[in-house]
Every structure is written in structure tokens, then in C-alpha cells.
Structure 1
């Protein structure tokens, strides 16, 4: 009998492209809430949440019950874009609990089940609606690794894997990229008004309100409002990528809500299904919905199991403010703890940034340190990843449902791990 905890099978047969298995080299067997259990019985606190997929924790019992009941009822599993009871239930819940309370009027497009496919659809429909090809994206952006999304992604590690030129995107500096006191949109406004700038009038601007993979960079509300005004004044569509920062991650359902803007297009994935089942969608202002039937398809654009758990997640967590109130309280605990950690080690010059339960501890003075903390934390029973152009940011993405005790315990492990590696 083979050793249940051995990684030999993966080393022997899985592609060299595998990534997270190298950072967290154990065979995981089960999970509940914010705890993962390995095949050898070891338990790990989760400050990773599936890279933002598991905002409501692992195997949330409310979702598990609904999925089991649906399967026992012989509910439709695969439905392409046909009408099903599961999809109808999700659309009605999304309309009632997300769109109507916020005064949003969006059409829903169900794309292939990855966030990258939602981005591809958003870029395609923006180009169709405007008749233009160029798109503006920002430094340190991450929009997926299919070719359209990759063209809008900033990180050279991912871009170099494309194998071809990544065209039709103009890169501009994100908020804060040039330091405090510099409004990077001055450059965008100048280029839009100057026929000699070389900037082809964009079909769209795509942006994250909080950059996740780019290092937990937070766009200010003022910056987002100015960006919305610039795009509106110039007939440019504004796409907000909410794939990692959305579904309550920064406190509100969408990260852009704090700014008060209304984008033309919104991409949603990761935690929208609630349960971790694959699901993505694009929200479109009705006048932007210029698709011809079947113009963007996908065999698995109708994941009905995901529709079931997504509906339950909305009904369970977005009918009142209990979840967002909890996120606000835990955010204060997380922010304060990281501020104390940075203050305890002034020689590092560490910077704390983030919102809600999406935070980063950026340590630019030693770009290897965040990775070493992550590795040490793993040996102590905590899963936490890094982000940023140099992996210099220790990235905190605990489940929104994490208990106060679990949050405190994980933060203590981070503090102990920092002390250990120093």
C-alpha cells in the first residue's frame, strides 16, 4: 500500500507547471471552515482561502446540505446556457439581494467557469460595443492567463510564458505607483487630450479596485471616481475586475462600492459560487450587451451545482449585514495586528495595506522575507501566500467566516514566524 502522505505520485506524473504544491508540500485530505487536514492527520489554519475562492470557508454546511439535496433530487448538472431551475433561482436571488439594493441595472452573462474567461468575454464585448481595439490596463494588474487577460496582466513572469506578442493594451501607472502625492491619472488625461501621445482611443479601461496578485495595492475612492469620469467623458467603457476582491472580500459585496462609481462591466468569479465550485459571470449595462446569440460560448458555462450553492450563499449571507459587520470587526483586528508587527521591526520598513480581509504586509527592504515567513508559517501549521512583483508581500486572505480565535492564532503564528526567520 502506498504512503497516503507521499508526494511521489505528483512528482512522477504531474506537469512541472504545478505551483502551490511546491509552497505547501503535503497531501490534503479534508477541510472544514478555516482548517485543512492533511492525509497524515496534521491540521493547518487557512489564511489563503483558495486564493480568494473560499470566502465562506471550506465545506460550509449550508452549501453542502443544499448540494446533496439537489443531487438526490436528480437536479440538472450540465445545462450549457439552457434555462434550468438552478440558474433561475440564482438569477432571482442575485437580482433581489445584490442588484436591487444597490440600484444596479446589469444583464448577467454566464461565461466559462474561470475568471480568465469572464475577462476574455468582457474585453471582447467592450471591443464589439465600441468598435475599437485598444484597452488600457495598469501596472501590477492581474487579469488571468489566457491571452486576452494576459495582455492586460502586468507581471513579466506570466507574460513571458505566452510565447507570442501581447498586443492591443496600453499600460498606465496604477494609483500610488509613482509615490504619494502623484495622481497617476494626470498622465491618462493628458494622453487622451493629446493627438501626439500615441494613445489610440481605448475601447475600455480594465482595473482592480484592490490589486490582489499585484501586491494588495488599494485604489483610492477619489482615484476611482476620477477614472470613472475620464472614461465616461471620452466614451470609454470601464471594466472592474472583482474576481478576487469581490463577494465581500473588502467588506462590501463589490470592492468598487466604497467609491460610489457604477462600472459599465464587472467580472465576477472565485467566491461567487460560495462552495468553491467553478463559476464565473460578467455583469453588463444593458446597452453594452451587444452580443449575438452564441457569440461567446463555453461547454461549462452552465454549472448548475455552482448556481445552487451561489444562491444559498446569497440568501445565507447577503440578506442582512451580519457578514459585513463581522468582516469590519475582523478587519480592524487584522489591520491593528499587522501595524503592531511592522512597528515592532522598524528596520524592515514594512508597509501595511489593504481593506476588509484582504491585506498585505509589504517588505521591500528584503524581498525574500515574505516568502521565508510563508515557509516558516507552514511548518507551524498556517497556510499563507505571497504576492507582488517580487513576491515581497505577505498576503492575508482568511475566510470571511473565520472565528476570532482562529484569526488571533494565525496572526500569532505569523509573528512567531517573522521572529524565527529574523
Structure 2
């Protein structure tokens, strides 16, 4: 690891949590240079929902390269883009009654967020955007402005401009919960409140990096209705929670809502860089070339993404996700029952789960213990108080069982190193 220490920037992060050199990966198993195997509960931070090196996806990419398919066409038409758009429309959008146009943007999720914010402001001719407590939307300046965690903020970035933060669902931990939607509606309907009606509201239906915070169906429905009533564009950031993570392809399907704009990235390209913005047709008010980017035409990602979407031709994959998620929930809750003083909550949906601890440093210790035992699992939340399950949706039963066994052993070891004084 000396070479990385010597030549790579101090900003490197995950290499510090998982200090080894990985050389091979298949589905939810990774191998390092010593031959040691690891079960992957990290899943490329949600970019590998379809696993490492899926055979069908790999064959499709190799065949495309071997026939000298166009690699980067910017926004020119290619057969790779044609087949991806056709597959996304016919398999995902139209069956769900979603009439969306597709904008291909720069290759990362934060590019999609920047585009969505810029478009909302252009369409509504207002500058304000509302985001929520504990939100995470990316690290470029516009996306950072709507991200909550203070760790990523410095005043001299100038990022908080034209953004208002509001409480996410169940943000206030009390018996008499304040309804943040009612609060916002009151502000925006009162001409003397000092709050301007925003151009858009951006929300994650489940906050992943924020600590696995799940918005209720009722809250999401009220949010949509307020946006409709007050002429505000509803933007759902589905970059990490989309692509089947919750059991449905889109995380907002469970609430029956239809956002005006949706940002999608990570697994839409199966781990290859691609990001898109979905928008209602009347919102597509760009002039040609008004918002561009050199790498908005990653043909290898188009090929891989179209092949991955074949898993959604029927409901078999969705059922598999929910069944595996139920197993994770059952095991995590059983583990939590063993350590009531160390584990305060287990929460999740589908194949996104988190174990929260009130004990400082406990979840970080779990991650370290897991790595030593052959498990890749990261922490989440403002103080890393949650250990996060984000494995590929395609993880085999054997890999899942092995990973959960390692997780339990790691929690047991971490608890021994963090004794609770009676």
C-alpha cells in the first residue's frame, strides 16, 4: 500500500477503510492480491446492484468492443444509445405510466443533481431550492448546497446560497412529531412568513448516506400534493435507492407518486459511468446545446445498462430482492436482540438496511472487524452511527448467509471491545 500512500491524494477514503489491493470480483465476492476473499456488502456504494462482472453484461460489452462499437459519441445517435432508450422506455417507464423524457448528463450522480437543480430554476424562474436534513446529493457545488452533512461544507465554498433546509420525515425524535410538510405549506402560503416559494424540492425517499432514514408513504404523498398545489417541482434523487434497491425499480413507486424530475445514476450503467435526468416532457425547456458535457454518451454503459434492464422483463427479480431483504431484516433484528445496549435500531426496506448504535465508534469498529474477517461494509450517518447493508441485489444465498455470519461475528467482537458500564 506504500505506493498509494506516496502518490495518491490525501482525499482517498475507502482505501483507508479497506486497506488491501483487490484484483478480482464476481457477483458479491471480491479477491485481493493475497487470494483472500471478501463478501461485498458495499456494492460500489450502490453502483453494483447487478453484481460484479455479471456474465450476460460482460458478454454484451465484449461483443460491442469486438465489433468496434462507438465508445464515446457525446450526444450523437448510436445504436447503443438507441437500444438503451428503447429498453428503458418499454421495460421501465411505460409499464409504470411514467411519461418522461431522458437527458444524458455528465457521468456521475452529482452531474444529474446539478442538471435537475439548474433545470428547475430555469423552468420556474425562481432561484430557491428546498432540501432536507441529513440529505446527501453529491459534492459539486450545487449538489453540495443541498447536502446536509457539515463534514462536507466549508463557508468559503459559498454553497448554501439559494437553498433552504427543512426537516425530513421523523426528523424530530419526540412523541409529538412535527409534520414538516404542514410546516412548509404554512410558510409558503403565508405571504409575510419571509419564505419564498421555491422552484423545486429535492428529496431522497430513503436517505442512504444520511443513516437509512425512510420517508413514510403518507409523508411522500403529502409532499407531492403540496408541490402540485403550490406549483413547485418535485425532484426525487433516486441515484442510490433506485435501480431496484427497495424491491421496485424506483424507490418512489411504493408511495404511488410521480415526481416531475428524477435523477438516476450508479447502477443504471451497472457500475460504468452514466447518469440521467428523467423529466416530464413539458419541463424539457432546454435549447439545443444549452447544457452539455463531453462524457454524456458512454456507449459501454448504454450496452451494459440495456442488458441489465432485461432482469425487469417480469417480476421475478423484484420478488427475489424482497425475499433476500426479508432474510437480512430477520437476521439483523435477531443480532440486535443479542446486543440491546449496543444496538438502538434496525431499519430498512428491500435490500437497503442499517444497524444504528448509540455507542460512539461502535459501527466503525464493526466495519474494521468485518474487514479482518472478510466482509466489506461501510458506515453511514452524520457520526458514522450506522453500519450499512448495500450488497448487490444479485447476491447468492450462499454469499448472503456467509456475509451475515461474518457481520454477526464482527458485531460480537466489536461489543467485546466496547463494554457497556452498568
The answer, yes or no, to whether TM exceeds 0.5 is yes
Does the alignment pair 1:340 with 2:340? no
- Please state if 1:200 is matched with 2:193: no
Q: In the alignment, is the contact (CA less than 8 A) between 1:170 and 1:199 conserved in 2?
A: no
Q: 2:377 aligns with which of 381, 384, 388?
A: 384
* TM-score between both structures, scaled by the size of structure 1: 0.96
> Is structure 2 residue 250 aligned with structure 1 residue 250?
no
- Do residues 131 (structure 1) and 93 (structure 2) align? no
Conserved? CA contact 1:130–1:203, under 8 Å: yes
The residue number in structure 2 matching 1:303 is: 298
Take 1:351 and 1:293, find their aligned partners in 2: how far apart are those partners?
Answer: 49
Alpha-carbon distance in structure 2 between the residues aligned to 1:254 and 1:75: 30
Structure 1 unaligned segments of length 5 or more: list them.
1-6
Deviations 1:33-69 (A, max 9, x none): 1111101111111000000000011011111000000
Partner of 2:317: 323
TM-score of the two chains, using structure 2 as the length reference: 0.96
Q: How far is the alpha carbon of 1:273 from its aligned partner?
A: 1.1
Alignment of 1:34-73 (within 5 A): 34-73=28-67
Which 4+ runs in 1 deviate beyond 4 A? none
1:291 maps to 286
1:197 to partner: Cα distance:
2.4
Written as runs of structure 1 = structure 2, the 5 A alignment for 1:386-405 is: 386-405=379-398
Distance (Å, rounded) in 1 between the aligned partners of 2:406 and 2:187: 48
Q: Is the 8 A contact 2:29 2:399 kept in 1?
A: no
**Matches of 2:238 and 2:14 in 1, distance apart?**
22
- Give 1:196 shift: 2.8
Q: Distance in 2 between matches of 1:332 and 1:207?
A: 26
Q: Deviations over 1:274-310 (max 9, x none)?
A: 2x11000000100111111111100000000100000
Query: Pairwise CA RMSD of aligned residues?
Result: 1.0
Q: Does 1:270 align with 2:266?
A: yes
Partner SS, residue 346 of structure 1:
coil
In 2, Cα distance between equivalents of 1:197 and 1:412:
54
Q: Which residue of the partner structure matches residue 420 of structure 2?
A: none
CA contact (8 A) 1:115 1:280 kept: yes
Q: Report the CA distance between 1:344 and its aligned residue.
A: 1.2
User: In structure 2, what is the equivalent of residue 259 of structure 1?
Assistant: 255
Residues of 1 paired with 2:171 and 2:405: CA distance? 31
Q: Supply the distance in 2 between the matched residues of 1:184 and 1:349 (Cα, whole angstroms).
A: 28
Spell out, residue by residue over 1:383-414, the C-alpha distance to the aligned partner (whole angstroms, 9 max, x if none). 00000010100000011011112111111111
Seen in structure 2, the aligned counterparts of structure 1 residues 78 and 123 have a Cα distance that, compared at 3 Å, is: same
Cα distance in 1 for residues equivalent to 2:89 and 2:293: 24
Query: What does 1:401-420 correspond to in 2, within 5 Å?
Result: 401-420=394-413
Is the partner of 2:157 in helix, strand or coil?
Answer: coil
**Alpha-carbon offset, residue 186 of structure 1:** 2.0
Match of residue 213 from structure 1: 209
User: Which sits farther off after the overlay, 186-195 or 138-147?
Assistant: 186-195
Paired with 2:343 and 2:110, the residues of 1 have a C-alpha distance of: 35
Which of 115, 121, 124 aligns to 1:121? It is 115
Aligned partner of residue 41 in structure 1, secondary structure: coil
* Residue pair 1:362, 1:394 contacting (<8 A) in 2 also: yes
